[in-house]
Amino acid sequence: MTDAELVSPPAGGRVFRHPVAAGLGDAAPSGRLRLDAIARWLQDAALADVVDSGLDGGGVWVLRRLRLRVARFPRFGDALEVATFCSGTGALVAERRSTVLASGEPVVEAVALWVHLDPDGLRPRPLPEGFEAVYGAAAAERRVRARLRHPVAPPDGAVPAERPWRFRAADLDLAGHVNNAVYWQVLEEDLVPAEPPDVDAEIEYRAPAGPGEAVVVAAGGMRWITAAGEVLATARVAGD
């Protein structure tokens, strides 16, 4: 994870602004707003941007990676807004940069990699017709790839710690899979007792999950979220 990917907003091009209302269910006991709530706001802002753009290529967008660099956690009661723009494209993918503002102050920077798929979600599909006209100026010809970068398994010699996890039926979204934001609750299990002032973390999504038992494997700053021997997602926490 490098700061080079946290590119600045474009001098020209589309930057979409989406207001956020943080509820009681978004806050930790300390009043800090949780990572899974932040991830959900970003997801909602991305959808709102696409709907507002009027683009409809008949495909679906699937999140492959999301990094959150929290300089200061938003607090319950803050006036919140997400500013989001397309920061790069590939043949079948698009990168989205977002900033969460609390009372006008940037507090969270995020970068997400989305893959465009056929409506059944099984095969990659070119970006929607008209995408370049709407988002090209903001992307500024910056090219990105869909390749994942986390290790798919703990390194040789590591002695990982395991803890049980369970995804609930209530965690499923319209696609019938565990929603992307829910995976951030795995990291929240460590954050709630510690309450750090900031965090830099990233999750890569590898396979869809349904309700049922799972296992979190931890080694150093990495987490592997697995079920039935399959890696569903990996998480990296900088400095952990």
Domains of the chain are 3-139 (3.10.129.10), 161-237 (3.10.129.10)
pLDDT mean over 199-206: 97
Q: How many angstroms separate the CA atoms of 144 and 7, rounded?
A: 13
Residue-level pLDDT at 10: 87
pLDDT mean over 1-22: 89
Given the DSSP bridges, would you call strands 212-219 and 222-227 parallel, antiparallel or unpaired?
Answer: antiparallel
- Do 69 and 6 touch, CB atoms closer than 8 A? yes
pLDDT mean over 87-110: 95
Mean pLDDT of the chain: 92
E strand residue ranges, 21-104: 60-70, 80-89, 93-102
Give the confidence band of 220 by pLDDT, cuts at 50, 70, 90.
confident
- Cβ contacts of 22 within 8 Å, gap of 6 or more: 33, 37, 74, 76, 77, 78, 80
- Do 37 and 201 touch, CB atoms closer than 8 A? no
Q: The whole model's pTM is what? A: 0.94
Residue-level pLDDT at 159: 66
Say if residue 157's pLDDT is above 80.
no
Give the confidence band of 1 by pLDDT, cuts at 50, 70, 90.
low
Higher pLDDT, 207 or 1: 207
Choose the weakest-confidence range: 31-45, 98-112, 149-163. 149-163
pLDDT mean over 66-93: 95
Residue-level pLDDT at 71: 96
Nearest to 62 by CA among 182, 206, 216, 183: 206
Please state, for a pLDDT cut of 70, what percent of the chain lies above it: 98
